[in-house]
Amino acid sequence: MTAMFRTLFKGLMALSLVVAPAAMAQEIERINEGRYFYTAISIPPGAETLYLSGSGARPMDDGSWGDMRQQTVDTFSRFQETLESQGWSMSDIVQVRAFAVAGDDGLDFAGFNAGYAEFFGTSENPSKPVRSFVEIKDLVVEGWLVEIEIRAARMP
C-alpha cells in the first residue's frame, strides 16, 4: 500500500507542476467586442491597476475650449502622457467614464466618438476599454464639455 501511495503522490505532484503555471498565467479577458468598446473586461487576481482621476481639456491658445471632439482628443492626449510617464500605455486602459454636458447645439456624442476613435480600436492601439458616457447638467470647470476618468490594468 505504501508503494502505491508514493506512486500516486509522485503523479499528483508532477501534475501540479504542469497545471499550476497554467492557472497562474491568467490574462486580462475582453468579452463581446463592439465598434468602440467591449461590454465586459475581466481582470484576474494579481493584475496591476492604475486609476486616473477625472480630467478635462485645457483652454486652447485663443482662450476658447474647443468642441467635444477637440476636448476629447486633448484629454486623452494628456492621459497618454501621464500613462507613458509611469511606464503604462493607452492599450492598458480597461475602463473609460465620460461625463458630458450639452453645448449650444446639444449633446455631441458623435464628437466624443470621433475623438475617442483616434485612441482606441486603431492599428496603433487595437484595445478598446469598457466605457460609460453620461450626460450631466454641468461640470466643475466652466468651458468643459466632457470630463473623463480612466482605469488601467496589466499583468505583471
Pick from 44, 80, 52: nearest CA to 154: 44
Output b/e per residue, 58-97; b: 16+ Cβ within 10 A: eeeeeeebbbbbbbbbbbbbbbbeebeeeebebbbbbbbb
Mean pLDDT confidence for 51-57:
96
Domain that residue 140 falls in: 26-154
Residue 148 host element (H or E):
strand 146-154
Give the pLDDT confidence score for residue 38 in this predicted structure.
Answer: 87
Banded model confidence at residue 17, pLDDT cuts 50, 70, 90: very low
Look at residue 86 and tell me whether its pLDDT is greater than 50.
yes
Q: Is residue 98 part of a domain?
A: yes
Tens digits of per-residue pLDDT, 106-125?
A: 899 999 999 999 999 999 99
Q: Is there a domain that residue 5 lies in? A: no
Beta bridge partners of 134: 99
Residue 135: is its pLDDT beyond 90? yes
Residue 34: pLDDT band (50, 70, 90) is confident
- Helix (H) or strand (E) segment spanning residue 149: strand 146-154
Q: Within a domain: residue 62?
A: yes
Which of these, 28, 33, 31, lies nearest to 49 by C-alpha position? 28
Q: Count how many domains the chain has.
A: 1
Distance CA 100, CA 32 (A): 25
> Per-residue confidence at 6, pLDDT binned at 50, 70, 90?
low
Would residue 20 count as lying in a domain? Answer: no
pTM of the full structure: 0.81
DSSP, collapsed to helix, strand or coil, labels residue 146 as strand
| Averaged confidence pLDDT in the chain | 87
Question: Domain of 47: which CATH number?
Answer: 3.30.1330.40
